[in-house]
Structure 1
Amino acid sequence: MKALLRKYKSVIRFIITFLVVYGVLSMGYNLYLNMSDGSKYYPDYLTNLVAEQTNSLLKAIGYDSQVIPHPDQPSLKVIVNGKYVARVIEGCNSASVIILFLSFIAAFAGKFKTTLFYCFAGSIIIYAFNLIRMVILTIGLYHYPWRQEILHSVIFPVIIYGTVFLLWMFWVNRFSNNKK
C-alpha cells in the first residue's frame, strides 16, 4: 500500500488539490449567490453584467436589442428587434467554468506569480470567450431558431470547454511544475 501511495503521490496530490480548490470556490460562489438580493442587479450581479455586456455587444454590431428581467424566472430576457430570443440564467455567466479552470490550474501549480497571473489571464479569456459565445448564440437563435438544440447544447459548449481545454494544455506543457 505504501509503495502504491508513493508511486501515485503526484496523482493523489493533484486529485486532492483539485477537489479542495473546487469545493472551496464552489462553496464561495454558492454563498455569493445566496447573499445576492437581486433587487439592484437581477438575478445576481455577475449574470446581470454578462447580460448587459452581451446587449452592448449586440448593439455595437448593429442589432436593436434590449435586456429585461424575466417576469417568471430568475433570468433576463434578451430581445432582438422586438423578438424574445434568449434568456440569460445564472449558468450563462461563466463562473462555474472559471471555477473549474482555476481548480485545475491550482492542482497543476507552477511558480506562485506565474500561476496567479495565468489564473487571472485565463479567467479573463474564458469570460471574454463566453461573451462572444453569448452574442453569437443570440444572433444564431434570432436567425435560426430551429437550430436551438444544436447551437445551445453542442456547438457553444464545445467553444467554451474547448477554450478551457486549450488553456489547460498550454499551462501543463509550458508552466506547470508537474510537466515531464
Structure 2
Amino acid sequence: MLKDFKPVLGILLRFIIIYVVLLFAYQFYLNSFKAQGLDPFSRVIADHVMFIQNKLNYATLLYDDVANEQVYFYVKKEYVTRMVEGCNAISIMILFLSFVFAFFKGTKTFVFATAGLLALYIMNVLRIAGLNIVTRDYPQYSKGAHDYLFPAVIYGSVVILWLIWIKFFALKNENS
C-alpha cells in the first residue's frame, strides 16, 4: 500500500526540504542585515514602489527608520504607510519555489521559477503601490485593502502560477 503513495510522499518530502532550506537561508540573510535597518531587497522594492508612484503623479518620498527596520512612504507630503521586511513577499516566493521544485522537470523548472519570481516581484511592487494610493486617497478602505484585497492579489498570483505549472508543465505528458 505504501508503494502507491511513494510518488506523493517523494513530492511532499522534496517540498518540505526545499522550503526549510530556503527559509533558513532567508533567515540567515535577514540576520546579516539586522543592524542596518531594512534589508537591501526590501529597500529595493520600496525604491521601485516610489518610482511607480512618482510616474503615476503620486509624489513619493521615503524615510528610513533604521532603528525599527522600516521605511516610511510619504505620498503627496503625507505619511501613508510603512514598509517592513514582511512586505517584500520573500516568504511567498519561497513557498512558490518550494512547490515548483517539488515537481522538478529539468531545465524548464528553472525557466518557469525565474519567470514566476519576476511576475511575483512585479505583482508585489504593484500591490504595495496600490495600497499606498488607496491609503492616501481612500483611507476608509485602507484596512480592508491591506488585510483582504491586496493579500488576495499576491496569494492569488501564486495559486495561478502553481496551476499553470501543474497543468502545462509538471503533469504534461512528455510524449504529447
> Which bin holds the TM-score, normalised by the shorter protein?
over 0.9
Moved over 3 A (4+): none
| Deviation at residue 72 of structure 1 after TM alignment | 5.7
Query: Which runs of 5 or more structure 1 residues have no equivalent in the other structure?
Result: none
Instruction: State the aligned residue count.
Output: 173
Which secondary structure state, in structure 2, belongs to the residue aligned with residue 62 of structure 1? coil
Q: Give the drift of 1:10.
A: 1.7
Q: Which whole-Å deviations, capped at 9, do the CAs of 1:12-54 have from their partners, x for residues lacking one?
A: 1111111100000000000000011553xx3110111111110
Q: Which residue is equivalent to 2:86?
A: 91
What TM-score results when the alignment is normalised by the length of structure 1? 0.91
In the alignment, does 2:7 pair up with 1:14? no
Shift of 1:70: 2.7
CA RMSD, 1 decimal: 1.5
| Residue pairs, 1:103-122, within 5 angstroms | 103-110=98-105, 112-122=106-116
1:69 is paired with a residue whose SS is: strand
1:150 to 144, 150, 172: 144
> Using a 3 Å threshold, how does the CA distance of structure 1 residues 148 and 72 change in structure 2: closer, same or farther?
farther
Q: Which of 136, 141, 144 is equivalent to 2:135?
A: 141
Code of the aligned partner of 2:119? I
Deviations along 1:75-134, whole A, 9 cap, x unmatched?
A: 100001111100011011111111000000011121x11001111110000000000111
1:28 and 2:48 are equivalent in the alignment:
no
Q: Which residues of structure 2 form unaligned runs of 5+? A: none
1:71 Cα deviation (Å)?
6.3
**Shift, 1:57, TM fit:** 0.7
CA contact (8 A) 1:25 1:99 kept: yes
1:74 and 2:69 are equivalent in the alignment: yes
Deviation at 1:64, TM superposition (A): 1.2
Whether 1:62 and 2:50 are equivalent positions in the alignment is: no
